[in-house]
Every structure is written in structure tokens, then in C-alpha cells.
Amino acid sequence: MRLHLSKGILGAARSLFTSIRVTLHLSYFVVILLGITLVGTVSFYVSYQSMLERVESASFQIVRQIEKNMDNDFQNKRNLLLAPYYNQEYIDGINAYATMDEQAQFLFRQKIGDLFLKSFNITPIRDFKRFQIYYSSGELLNASDAYKAIAAKDVQNADWFRQTVAKDGRVHFNAPLTSTPAETGEAAYSSSLLIRDFSNPVNFVIVRAEYNDELFRSIGQNDNLSASSRIVILNEHNQQVYSSSERPDTASEPGMLSLINSESGKFWYGTGQEERLVAYTRSDYSNWKVVLVTPKKEIFGPLDQIKTTTLVTALIAFVVTLCISLLFGRSITNPILDLYKTVNRVKRGDFSVRVHVKRSDEIGRIATNFNDMQDELQTLIESKYIYQIKLQQVELAMLYSQINPHFLYNTLDSIKAMADYYKVEDIGDMAQSLADMFRYNTKSKDEVVTLRDELEQIDAYMNIQRTRFEDKLAYELDIEEELYTFAILKMTLQPLVENAVFYGVEQKLGKSTIRITARKEDNHMLLTISDDGVGMSGERLQEIYARLGEPFYMEHLPVAASEGGIGLRNVYARYAIRLGDQFEFQIDSQAGHGTSVTLKLSAENSLTKPQ
């Protein structure tokens, strides 16, 4: 049941698409759909690429600018830490601190503390929180506010302390502040600098200043970043120092952090709706990285308007196309349908019908040409076609009644020659054979005979030819017994055997043999007339095949043997007229090796066997 239902639906769909009107409407839809799809796709792609390039470039410029602003701020903070170098008294005090008495050390601690208090107050820094001053032994010399006492040994072992010593005069920025007990409050990062006499590497102090994240927060506000974008500051170990987002997800994404591994760059991270553009750069001054993370959906949000516009345009175009196709499609398809109906009437045999031409466009010109073709076709049917049929009938009548004049002349010459030598018996045989041939041609009006009847005719013909040529010509038969009653057309063999004698044997020096064979192959009879005469060239064979393939109405029909005879072409034409595709005709020949002509006739052919 389902199979029949599916076949019915499929058949209905196929019949629907055979309508030119439906095809025309669908063509409109497909053209509009492809056009809108192509324009929309190209527009979307161009917009996407243009926006992508602008966003990537803008993101990279933003992180570059943030990095420059951050470096400028860090350099200013470093300059404040260099205050002791502007007064040799502080450098001398650093060198002598270890040998001072307690009172002198106290005074030095107060003095150097006041120096940095004055420096940070004269040049106020908005995100400054506090500072500490440590001696090379880890001893805290001074601090800007209360602090928790830490053992000097612990200070010396702190990572930030060792990193500052290792940088030997270059500022060290440290974050996040989680490794030292003294680091409390709202400080986000610190900068520390080693200060010493360049001639005394043993005695030094380290000044450490702590800051909150106001600098980083102001960066995000000044750059007018979107709500979903965020700025991330990473230290030299790719640890998060600051994130403008409250979500601490950057530090928990090792995949993203592993890609931030060069001086600068940009890449897309994530999949689907979570895909983000990541642009970053590394500061040569602090070795910290500035990272800008922007969600893709926020970048390409405006492209949704293009999608919506494209869909609305496509819908409008479809509606307009439907109206146009309904209004104008009928004016195009109706004349074509009229032409189709007229062609069907011609197909049924009504050659008098004509198309009513009401247009001057291509369809009208087709209709006009069709009418002209009908007029010419009717003329051909009434004249050339009927005339050619009559010619074929005349040719067949000639075939039954005509004896090749060349054959008659030679026969009479032979009779005269034998009479000269008084060979009365031979003259009688030849005359009897000639009489038998005339009798065969005139005794019956039947066009279809048996193979046996044709072979009797050929026996009479070959008796005459053997008398003419004496020992030069031999004649052989190889016929399967059951094929003697096979129905063939009258005068099938005589023209072919005559061709073999005239064109093959007569032109050859020495003895020749003509052989007729008939054998059964599957459901066919193969009838072959062969000779071992002079044969013919390949070019001549091609000419004969070309002539056999010509339409009958194009050929010039010979009316006498002197014009080329009525041999091969007539035998072929008669079978082609009667049997069509139910027979095959083959000629094989090679110069110097003879010629063979084979007819392949189906046992189920439409010839009527004689009773």
C-alpha cells in the first residue's frame, strides 16, 4: 500500500513538472532565489571580512595603547623610587648603616622614610597605597603605614625580594600580592627597586611601593569598551593581575593562556556562541601582557540586520515574482500549448492543420516556420514521396522482366560461335537454359519464392556461363537441407551472381569459382554469394556502402544495365522496403582476393512463404 502511494505521489510530481507553466514559475523562483542568495551571501561575506579586519585591527590598537599608557605610568612610579640617588647623603648612609650606632640608624631610617613620604606627596599617584623600605639584611627600615612585623630572614627569602635583587637596579613589578604576610589591604600589585652605591654591591636598600587596581580600571573606562569585552593584565608568568570582568574565568582557561606566548598577537578562541577574539601585547618595560577579550556575538551583532534584511527582501521578491508569473506566464505558455496541440494533430496524420499566428516574437516566428514546414511537407508527400514509390514499383517490374543486355549480347555471341563450329548439342543446352530463365521471369507474378526456386534459376544461368567460359568458371553450392524451403524475394540471387561474373570472374585471368552457401545461425539464415575474382579496393567498397545508405528518394534509379545495372542496390532496396530492420546486408571484398555478399534474414521475417 505504501509502495503504491509513494509511486502515485512520485508520478504526480513528475506529471506536474512536465507542464511548461509550472516549469516557468519554478524558473522564476529559482532565479530570484539564486540571485538573492548570491547577493546576500556576497554582501554578508564582504561585511563579515571588512568588520573582522576592522575589529582585529582596532583590538590590537587598543591593547597597544593600553600597554603604552601602562608603561608611562610604571616609568613615573619608577622615577619616584629613584629619589635617594638625587642626594649623595642617602647613598653614604646606605653604605654606613651597618656600622652606625642605634641612634644614627634611627635618624637614618626617619630621614629616608621622610624622603619617600615627601616624594609620594609632592607627586601624588592616584592608585598608591603604601611603601616599605628594607635593608639588604631584610630589616624593615621604614613604612608609610602600620604593618605586621616580619622576620628579616623571611623577607630575604621572599620571591619579590630575590627578584628585585636579581634585577640589580631595574624596577621589579610583582603581582598578585599573595605570598608575603605583610601584604594586606587592597593592594593589587607592587613595584620594588634596589638602591645602592655602585661601588658597594653588599649594602643596599630596597624600596617597595604597593598600588591598587585603579590604573587598570581607568584604562577600561577610557577606551569605551563594550559591556561584554574585558581587559586582562597578566604578569610575566601569565598569572592574572587584573580583569575588568567580575568573572575570574581567564585565569582558569589554560588553553587560552597557552596561546598567549609571544610578544604580541591575536587569535580566535572557543567555539559557537562562546567564540572570542583575543588580542594581546607584551610590555618591554614590565614584561606584563595586556589582553583584550571580545565576544564574537558582540562584534558581529550588526550583521544580524543584514540577515533580516536579506530574508525580508527574498520574501518580497518571491511575492512579486508570483504575481508577475501569474500575470505574464499565461501569455507566454498559451501560444506554446497551441503549438503543442497542433503538433499532436499532425502526429495523428492531419497534415492540413496550421497554427494561428498572433504574435511577432520568437514564439510567433516558430509558429510561422512550423506552418511553412507543414506546407513543404505536404508538397513532398504529394509529389516526391508518391513519385519515389512509383519509381520503386517500376524498378521492381523492370527487375522481373528485364534481362541484362550485356548478358544477352554475350550469350548470342556464344551461340553464333558454337554454330560456326557445329556444336549442336551445346547450342541446345544453352538455348534451353536461356528459355528456362525467361520462363522463370514470366511464369509467375509472385514476388516471394523459395530458395530452391532461386537456385534452379541460377543453375540455368550458370549453365550458360560455363558454356561461355568453359573451364575458366566453376560453380559450387553448399546449402543446408532445411533451408531449401526458406522464403526469399524473387530475383535475389541472379543479380548478385551476375555481378560476381561480370565484375569479378570476367576481369580475372585464370580459373575462378562462384560459390553459394546457405547456413542456419541461431534463428537466422546466412545466404552468401562469393567469388575469388579480382575483388575491389577499400575506397570502392566505401562508395558502395555510402550509396546503399542513401535515402531512396535521393538516388538516381538506373533504367538500363549500361548505367550500372540493377544489382546490389536493387536487392538491398527491395529487402529494405519489405523487411526494414529484419535483415542485414554485408559486402566483404579485397583487391585480388575476391568478393562476398551476405544476406542475413530472420526466420521470423514478414515475407510470406509460397504454398
- Would you kindly state where each structural domain of the chain is located, as residue ranges? 82-214, 402-602
Burial class from Cβ neighbours inside 10 Å (0-12, 13-18, 19+) for residue 352 reads: exposed
- Output the CATH code of domain 402-602: 3.30.565.10
Tell me how far apart the alpha carbons of residues 100 and 105 are, in angstroms, rounded to a whole number.
Answer: 6
Q: Which residue do the cell numbers 505504501 mark?
A: 2
Contacts of 425 (CB under 8 A, 6+ apart): none
Distance, first Cα to last Cα, the chain:
56
Tell me how far apart the alpha carbons of residues 127 and 316 are, in angstroms, rounded to a whole number.
Answer: 59
402-602 matches 82-214 in CATH topology: no
Contacts of 123 (CB under 8 A, 6+ apart): 76, 80
Q: Which residue do the cell numbers 520462363 mark?
A: 439
For residue 402, give the nearest of 441, 431, 376, 361 by alpha carbon.
441
Cell of 181: 604576610
Domain 82-214 has CATH 3.30.450.20: yes
Angle between helices 362-380 and 303-347 (to 10 degrees): 20
| Residue 468 CB coordination number (10 Å) | 19
* pLDDT for residue 529: 93
Phi first, then psi, for residue 252 (nearest 5°) are -95, 10
Phi first, then psi, for residue 269 (nearest 5°) are -135, 140
Contacts of 436 (CB under 8 A, 6+ apart): 456, 457, 460
Burial class from Cβ neighbours inside 10 Å (0-12, 13-18, 19+) for residue 275 reads: middle
| Residue 462 CB coordination number (10 Å) | 20
Tell me how far apart the alpha carbons of residues 425 and 428 are, in angstroms, rounded to a whole number.
Answer: 5
For residue 463, give the nearest of 425, 491, 496 by alpha carbon.
425
CB environment 112-123: b (16+ within 10 A), e (fewer): bbebbeebbeee
H/E run at residue 143: strand 140-143
Instruction: Give the Å distances, CA to CA, from 247 to 80, 250, 272, 403.
Output: 34, 8, 20, 116
| C-alpha dihedral, 115 to 121 to 126 to 127, nearest 10° | 30
* pLDDT for residue 426: 66
3-class state of residue 173 by DSSP: strand
The segments of the chain whose pLDDT lies below 50 read 16-17, 180-184, 251, 401, 553-554, 557-565
Instruction: Give the Å distances, CA to CA, from 371 to 128, 341, 367.
Output: 102, 14, 6
**C-beta of residue 238 within 8 angstroms of C-beta of residue 223:** no
What sign for the dihedral angle of Cα 439, 444, 447, 449?
negative
Partnered with residue 265 across adjacent β-strands are 280
Tell me how far apart the alpha carbons of residues 354 and 374 are, in angstroms, rounded to a whole number.
Answer: 8
DSSP 382: I
CA atoms within 13 A on the CB side of 399: 26
pTM over 0.75: no
| Residue 392 CB coordination number (10 Å) | 17
**Size of the chain, expressed as the number of residues it contains:** 611
* pLDDT for residue 286: 86
